[in-house]
């Protein structure tokens, strides 16, 4: 007998398989349900973000078995911003190994804003790689023989996740660089505590570049599907992340991915995700699908209002929460002696 969780999963995959694609209908319903949601405010700390159309709204789902559905503005390019953070953390892990990275960056959620100027007082580490401090420390760990080589390696990594070449938007990059005083302050604080190498200026440049990469909701779904698929891009078959580190990324996304809404997200939606102030959210249903949403108006914590609503509805409808009552039971239970004596 399939348990509830399995039948939810089957329902999701069957919806994607059928020619009429009921999942597409579900996404369309969600899209029209929340299109009119007028809440939230488009990020305005740089003109390029302030100019975004508040009506833009795309939802895209890509499965580990290569099925793709997109509705709304899923092909509208926007800047990845903080959604880049888990992926760069993955690269730091590949370049240096888990122990070395954990000496420089914690994996502890904090209930503070993403740009808070705080380090762990005992270890001097940034709390986690999903806030700016930890993300800048992760960017610092991107290896390369010189600065252009580090940029090239970082872009190649995003290319593997997206399955296409990616580009930095120069105008966003220049604005991020010109206004990024707070990020500079954070970097200097970390340098003071020996948490950053002395290539601080290069690292900040690289960080501003990674935030300014243009992606779409569809790309985010492919990136999420790559993590759902154990690190291999299901559309290209190319490995984007060493299988060993997939769970590292998903864990920090699960606990710290949605800024200071992370705990509530883990409670209500219950799947690993990461958001960015460009309006993007990537969410991962391990073993099944990646979900990408895009809508620029943000709530007070910096998360896309429509994106949160759409993901929450999808998680409820299909029982996606990782701790959904029956979902976490069967793997260990099936290891007991089937005759019931132990
Ligand atoms: N470029 C932004 C910053 O570093 C990214 C922030 C975000 O998406 N939360 O402040």
**Which pLDDT value is given to residue 37?**
86
Q: How far from 288 is each of 227, 237, 285, CA to CA, in Å? A: 10, 16, 6
pLDDT value of residue 210: 98
The reply to whether 82 belongs to the active site is yes
Query: Under a CB-based contact definition with an 8 Å cutoff, are residues 295 and 305 in contact?
Result: yes
Pocket of ligand 1 (CB under 6 A): 81-82, 114-115, 132, 176, 183, 211, 276-277, 302
Vertex 199: Cα angle to 196 and 201 (nearest 5): 105
Which residue is catalytic, options 63, 74, 82, 304?
82
Cα separation of 49 and 279, whole Å?
Answer: 9
Q: Where are the alpha helices (DSSP H) in the chain?
A: 4-17, 22-35, 47-50, 84-96, 98-104, 132-140, 147-162, 170-179, 181-192, 200-211, 217-228, 246-256, 262-268, 305-318, 330-333
Known catalytic residue: 277?
yes
Is 161 one of the catalytic residues?
Answer: no
Position 327 scores a pLDDT of 58
Backbone angles phi, psi at 278, to 5 degrees: -70, -15
Ligand 1, closest atom to CA 278?
Answer: 8
| CB-based contacts of 99-102 (< 8 A; 24+ apart in sequence) | 101/138, 101/141
Residue nearest to atom 2 of ligand 1 (CA): 81
Q: Which of 81, 171, 178, 187 to mutate to test the pocket of ligand 1 (most atoms within 8 A of CB)?
A: 81
Q: How far is the CA of 84 from the centre of ligand 1 (A)?
A: 10
Distance CA 233, CA 224 (A): 9
Are 127 and 109 a contacting pair, CB within 8 Å?
yes
Distance CA 289, CA 331 (A): 20
CA dist., res. 281 & res. 4, Å (int): 27
pLDDT beneath 70: ranges in the chain? 1-11, 13-20, 326-342
For this structure, is 85 an active site residue? yes
Select from 83, 64, 91 the least CA-distant residue to 232: 64
Q: Please state the atom number of ligand 1 nearest to the C-alpha of residue 114.
A: 9
In terms of phi and psi (left: phi > 0; alpha: psi -120 to 50; beta: otherwise), the region of 219 is alpha
- Which mutation among 176, 185, 261, 300 tests ligand 1's pocket best, with the greatest number of atoms within 8 A of CB? 176
Q: Whose CA is nearest to atom 4 of ligand 1?
A: 132
Pocket test for ligand 1, best of 48, 78, 80, 114 (most atoms within 8 A of CB): 114
Radius of gyration, alpha carbons of the chain: 20
């Amino acid at each position: 007998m399939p348990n509830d969780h399995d039948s939810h999963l089957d329902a999701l995959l069957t919806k994607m398989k059928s020619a009429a694609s009921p999942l597409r209908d579900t996404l369309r319903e969600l899209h029209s349900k929340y299109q009119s949601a007028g809440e939230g405010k488009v990020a305005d700390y740089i003109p390029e973000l302030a100019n975004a159309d508040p009506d833009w709204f795309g939802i895209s789902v890509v499965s580990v078995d290569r099925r793709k559905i997109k509705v709304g503005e899923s092909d509208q390019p926007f800047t990845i911003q903080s959604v880049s953070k888990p992926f760069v953390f993955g690269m730091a892990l590949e370049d240096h190994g888990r122990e070395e990275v954990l000496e420089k960056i914690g994996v502890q959620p904090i209930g503070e804003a993403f740009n808070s100027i705080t380090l762990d007082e005992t270890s001097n580490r940034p709390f986690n790689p999903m806030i700016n401090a930890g993300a800048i420390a992760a960017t610092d760990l991107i290896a390369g023989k010189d600065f252009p080589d580090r940029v090239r390696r970082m872009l190649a990594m995003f290319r593997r996740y997206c399955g296409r070449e990616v580009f930095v938007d120069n105008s966003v990059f220049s604005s991020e660089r010109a206004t990024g005083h707070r990020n500079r302050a954070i970097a200097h604080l970390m340098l003071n505590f020996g948490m950053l190498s002395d290539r601080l200026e290069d690292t900040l440049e690289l960080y501003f570049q990674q935030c300014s990469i243009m992606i779409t909701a569809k790309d985010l779904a492919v990136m999420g599907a790559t993590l759902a698929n154990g690190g291999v891009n299901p559309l290209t078959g190319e490995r984007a992340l060493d299988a060993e580190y997939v769970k590292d990324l998903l864990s920090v996304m699960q606990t710290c991915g949605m800024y200071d809404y992370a705990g509530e997200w883990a409670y209500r939606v219950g799947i690993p995700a990461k958001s960015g102030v460009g309006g993007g959210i990537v969410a991962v249903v391990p073993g099944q699908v990646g979900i990408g949403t895009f809508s620029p108006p943000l709530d007070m914590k910096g998360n896309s209002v429509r994106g949160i609503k759409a993901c929450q509805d999808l998680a409820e409808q299909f029982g996606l929460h990782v701790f959904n009552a029956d979902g976490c039971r069967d793997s260990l239970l099936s290891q007991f002696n089937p005759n019931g004596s132990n």
